[in-house]
Amino acid sequence: MNPSFQIHKNDWFAFLHKSSEEYNVYLPVRFNNHIEYEILQDEPENIALNIARPVTPLKTFLLPVKENVVINTSIHNKNIIIGVPSCDLHALDLLDKIYLDQKFIDDSYRINRENTILIGTDCLEIHENCHCISYNINPFPEINHDLSLVAVNGEIIISVNSGKGKKLFDELKSSFPVKEAEKMQIDKIQEKRKEIIIQLKKNNKSLPDYQKTGDLIQKSEDEIWERYARTCVSCGACTTICPTCTCFLLIDRPDFEKVRQVDACQFPGFEKIAAGEDPLKRKYVRFRNRYLCKYVWRPGQFSSIACTGCGRCIDSCIGNISKNEIFIEMAGDDG
């Protein structure tokens, strides 16, 4: 754990208001039974720090739902995003390999990435379908963040993790009282982390690990996919809300405009080609194809996992399909 510092919560929010003159500052806010990123208001209300993942994945800030990729008319805002969970930070491993490949750098993604300060946070409360620990991801920031924070007893505990983070932290220190974090506060955080890890392992004790899941999918029979796909309505919610899914559609428009728009492999006709051929025409084939991509093909191509265990796809499924139930059943049949 990097050296930690603490600042009173009131001073922290005062600093955020000051920073909002230069940045769009986003915070996780509770709305009834879900959490969503909201831009900082005059008086922060219902702030949901240290609670597992907002509904919107981090990728939405870096990859707009729709943009012109030929004539770049989009405005690349400077953002501070607070409360990014570990599952979304790990998802950046794959997104960076795809969009920052030296041979094919995506300038829009690059600029958004450079203009964004990511402040990760511990998940000290988890959702029913969280399963990051099953894929060797801890429920606290470890990679791909500039600062990390934990709210403890009216204090904000902060760690610096990058050059961008240090610059922002130096601005904080120049205007507000910051001190080295008390050992008692650090011990509380460490103890709570251990509790959450134990809870995650208990909740997902039957779920196979990432490698095992890929093996199970590759040797699975059609029957299990046909059965679970019966309630799928091909809405694409599971893919669009996923922090690592990157499928898009290119649309040609007049005046040399080419629009990149989010697409989903679960849509009918997603892989339709000339003469009407469609290798993913059958719903259960599309359904299985998504998990082959996430657990077999993407890891093989990019040496990075393509599911970080956030559980958003399970929460968002209109057909009440749980991929974890599928994999647990497969693991049971295999054993």
Count CA within 13 A, CB hemisphere, residue 280. Answer: 17
Residue 72: its pLDDT value, please? 64
Residue 324: its pLDDT value, please? 97
Say whether pLDDT at 241 is over 70: yes
Q: What percent of the chain has pLDDT over 90?
A: 78
Say whether pLDDT at 73 is over 60: no
Q: Which residue has the tokens 């749980």?
A: 322
Mean local confidence (pLDDT), 99-105: 92
75 pLDDT band, cuts 50/70/90, is low
Phi-psi region of 46 (alpha: psi -120 to 50; beta: other; left: phi over 0): left
Mean local confidence (pLDDT), 228-238: 95
Structure confidence by residue, pLDDT tens digits, 114-125: 999 999 999 999
Structure confidence by residue, pLDDT tens digits, 304-321: 999 999 999 999 999 999
pTM: 0.94
Task: Give the dihedral sign, CA 215/216/219/222.
Answer: negative
Say whether pLDDT at 74 is over 70: no
Structure confidence by residue, pLDDT tens digits, 271-301: 888 888 888 889 999 999 999 999 999 999 9
Both structure tokens of 52? 């597992």
Residue 14: its pLDDT value, please? 94
Element (H, E) at 79: strand 79-84
d(CA 234, CA 265): 9
